[in-house]
Each structure stands twice: as C-alpha cells, then as structure tokens.
Structure 1
Amino acid sequence: MINILIAEDNVHIRELIKQHLQGEGYTVFEAGDGVEASECLEKQQMHLAIVDVMMPNKDGFQLCQEIRTYYDIPVILLTAKDQLVDKEKGYAVGTDDYLTKPFEPKELSFRIKALLRRYQMVNAEKIVLNDTVIDRKSYEVHSGGKLLMLPMKEFELLSQLASYPDRIFTREELIELIWGSDFEGDDRTVDVHIKRLRERFAKRTDDFSIKTVRGVGYKLEVTKK
C-alpha cells in the first residue's frame, strides 16, 4: 500500500485531494501545517508528500528541506503562486515537482505515478535508459554497444541524475551528494563534469540528454523511443 502525506492548511483543498487519491487506491494521511506534517513523518512511513508552500508554523519550503534531509521520498509542492522565483526556491530546497493552483486532480495523479516510478529506480542496481545501462554494482556503463568505464565522480554524477529522470538538481545539491559537505571547491566543478559527460555521450547515443535549467541546475531527460 502506498502512503501519501498531504500537508495543506486549506481544509477544502485537502479534502478534495484526499478523496481523489483514496479513489486511486492510495492511503492518505493529512496535516494542517508543517509541524503536524513533521510529526506525521516521524510516526508513519510515507512514500510521497504533497506539500503546500504557504502554511502556518512551518512553511512548505522548510518542510521540503526537512524531508530532503531526513527522508528519501518524492515531494510535490503546491502553490497559488506562479512566479519563477518561487519555483527556483522550491527546487533549491529539493522538491521533485511543482504544481500551481488551481489544478486538475487527474494531473496530480499523473505526476504522483511518474514520481513513484522514478523513485523505484533509485534502489535498482541497474538503471536502464533505453539502450544505455548504468550498472551501479560494477561501475560500468554499456552504451552504443560498447563498455564505458567512467571516472568515479562522472559515474556517480550520471547515476544520480539518471536515478531521478526529469528531477532538477541544483549545483549545491550535486556537490553535497557527489563530493560531500567538506568539499572545498566551488560549483563550477559540477559544470565541468556535466560538460565531460555530454561530450562522452553526444556522438555515442541519443538515449538521454542532460539539460541545463537556467539559474537552477541540471536534469536528465530520457529520450522517448
């Protein structure tokens, strides 16, 4: 059974989402603010969180950052705002997706299913991107009919992006995940490694591409075939 947390202070919106998700077969837990949501996360295993940005006591950005720090679950931020600066802040604190109110419940369902599929890839030893296979056990990449042995940091960076297709990672997040919090270099290191990965795969395969999200960071997109 998939457990989904709804953190939303508007009881009518919360009830609408709850009824729709229960109809889809999910188990739903509710929280009226960020503090209640934190308490719920401590008591119950969740598989995904839907988080409103504007909440009392602890807002959605703070809650999202907390989830990203302590829990390995996808987050969808809900907001009435449609400004680039809010989206940038949302992705900076680690949200996986962003939905602006008002929205269709069916669209929310589509995004939930996509995120749950994406997160299932994280625990897999092999990540399959069309004909490209990333083997996290042997640290090998098979692409274009050939075996590639990438430098370790390039391999880890590619694996991180490929584990969460379409999720935007900030440079700061990637530094923390790949190089560690004690890394003394700057975020240009990420740019250099992304450039090398692009050059390695550009003429070899079109199975995927690494996109730059201006002012935010990078994401990997799998080519539809």
Structure 2
Amino acid sequence: MSNGPLAGARRRLLVVEDDPVINQAVSDRFVAEGYDVVRAWDGPGAVAACAEHRPDAVVLDVMLPGFDGHEVCRRIQADRPVPVLMLTARAEESDLLVGLGVGADDYLVKPFRMRELVARVSALLRRVDRAAALARGEVLQVGDLRVDVPARRVWRGETEVHLTPTELDLLVCLAAAPGAVVTREKLLAEVWGWDGATGTRTVDSHVKGLRAKVGPGVVRTAHGVGYALETDAPGTAP
C-alpha cells in the first residue's frame, strides 16, 4: 500500500535539491507515490516556486547555490506555515537545531533510504491534517501559559511566544495533560505520526527549541521516559 496521499486528496510537493541525480530520483519516487511534484535547484528558485505553486510540503536540501536551505526555510515560513523536511549531509546537533529554529519540522541525514523519506513526508502531512481537525475552538491554560489551539498562537503571561509548527504541536500534546509525563514514543506518534518508531533525538531537539522560547523549567524531563509540562514552573501563575 502506498504511503502517499489519500485518494481524492492529491498533494503537491516541492523538491529542492541541487544535485540533479538526487533531485530526479526523489521527484520520480514521489510522483510514483501519487504526489504532484514541483522541482527547484537553488535557494532563490525554491522561494519563488513555493510562492507560485503553494506546495503542501517541502523536501529541502541544506546546501544550495544562491542561499542555503536554512534561509529558504526562513523565507517560506515567513510567507505561510508549510511542513518542511530538510536533507542534510551532517548530523551534528548544532546544524539540526539551526534548521529547527528557522521552521523545519523534520530532518533526514544523507544518505537516506527513499522509503523512509516518503514515510516521513507522509507523516508530516498527516500531522497537518490532525492539526486542522483539532481546531475546534479549544484554548489550553497551564499556569501563565496560554495556548489558543485554533488560532495556533501561544502566550506566556502577556507576551506572545512565536513557535514553529512542530513546537506548537509538541506543546499542545504536553498541555493536553499538564503535569503528566508523556513518553517520547507517544510524542513521536502524536506529533510526528511515527507509530512504533524510535527517534529520541528528534523529540529531544524539538524540546530544546521549545524550552528556549517558553522559558526554563516549563518542560520537565523524566529521564529515560519522556517530558511533562509543569504547572508550577518558575514565573508561572500559582
């Protein structure tokens, strides 16, 4: 069974990769999976293609001519939120955090298996669908942290906190059960759509980015298990 879009819901994917062989191989695979694929080979071309074609998701190489994938991600996210999976030749945490900080939702280190790439993109799109279904008018309040789910906005006290789409989904999952420990496996399933998968580094990297924005002590680590949203973190309301 294909991991691609559901029947009647053909999705558009932008593939940005300067290596013509990889670009062609990735594009061909997603076309075979039922996607409508748009291609770009450099930074400026990627931004222009995203604005023109309004893709449902973007597969984005980090190293590009013109300007790099991080700058591409920053510019396209400033225009509108769109799920982005970054392809990188390096696995250093600092590089990954830069990508997450400019709005990337996931990353895959080269060389990668095509099957995994397709599964990751499919999971990103399922998350978008679930987020749309969640938008029912719910506002979550934990201490002085307020999450307006349908508006996808977050405040700490009177100050609005600007989160990436993945950070917000992660916060919503934790805020749904304040004080309770949510396992990494559950977070992977609920936020990333990776049922039965392991990816602790993915979760940990996004939690680090979330903590940097909502403040220290808000997200507690349960070592070896997962994370919890604290109801009495320093600076929160009693």
Q: Percent identity?
A: 28
- The DSSP-based 3-state class of the residue aligned with 1:178 is strand
Q: Which runs of 4+ in 1 moved over 6 A?
A: none
Instruction: Write the letter of the residue equivalent to 1:217.
Output: L
Residue 120 of structure 1 deviates from its aligned partner by 1.1
Paired residues of 2:74 and 2:103 also in contact (CA < 8 A): yes
Instruction: State the TM-score, normalizing by the size of structure 1.
Output: 0.66
Paired residues of 2:146 and 2:154 also in contact (CA < 8 A): no
Instruction: Write the letter of the residue equivalent to 2:154.
Output: I
Paired residues of 2:63 and 2:69 also in contact (CA < 8 A): yes
Distance in 2 (CA, whole Å) between partners of 1:184 and 1:113 is 31
Instruction: Write the letter of the residue equivalent to 1:75.
Output: V
Corresponding position of 1:14:
23
Residue 72 of structure 1 deviates from its aligned partner by 2.0
Paired residues of 1:5 and 1:30 also in contact (CA < 8 A): yes
- Summarize the alignment of residues 110-121 of structure 1 with structure 2, pairs less than 5 Å apart: 110-121=119-130
Corresponding position of 2:155:
179
Name the CA shift for 1:34/1:153 in 2 (closer, same or farther; >3 Å). Answer: farther
Q: 2:84 aligns with which of 75, 81, 86?
A: 75
Residue 124 of structure 1 deviates from its aligned partner by 2.1
Corresponding position of 1:216:
209
Residue 73 of structure 1 deviates from its aligned partner by 1.3
Corresponding position of 2:147:
156
Q: 1:36 aligns with which of 34, 45, 48?
A: 45
Residue 216 of structure 1 deviates from its aligned partner by 3.1
Residue 24 of structure 1 deviates from its aligned partner by 0.3
Q: 1:23 aligns with which of 24, 29, 32?
A: 32
Distance in 1 (CA, whole Å) between partners of 2:146 and 2:204 is 18
Instruction: Give 5+ residue unaligned stretches, structure 2.
Output: 1-9, 162-170, 192-202, 212-218, 220-225, 228-238
Corresponding position of 1:190:
none
Corresponding position of 2:104:
95
Instruction: Write the letter of the residue equivalent to 2:210.
Output: G
- The DSSP-based 3-state class of the residue aligned with 1:56 is coil
Equivalences, count: 178
Paired residues of 1:6 and 1:51 also in contact (CA < 8 A): yes
Paired residues of 2:85 and 2:108 also in contact (CA < 8 A): yes
Name the CA shift for 1:153/1:26 in 2 (closer, same or farther; >3 Å). Answer: farther
Q: Deviations over 1:19-74 (max 9, x none)?
A: 11111010111101010111111211210001100001121000111122112210
Residue 217 of structure 1 deviates from its aligned partner by 3.0
C-alpha root-mean-square deviation of aligned residues, in Å?
3.8
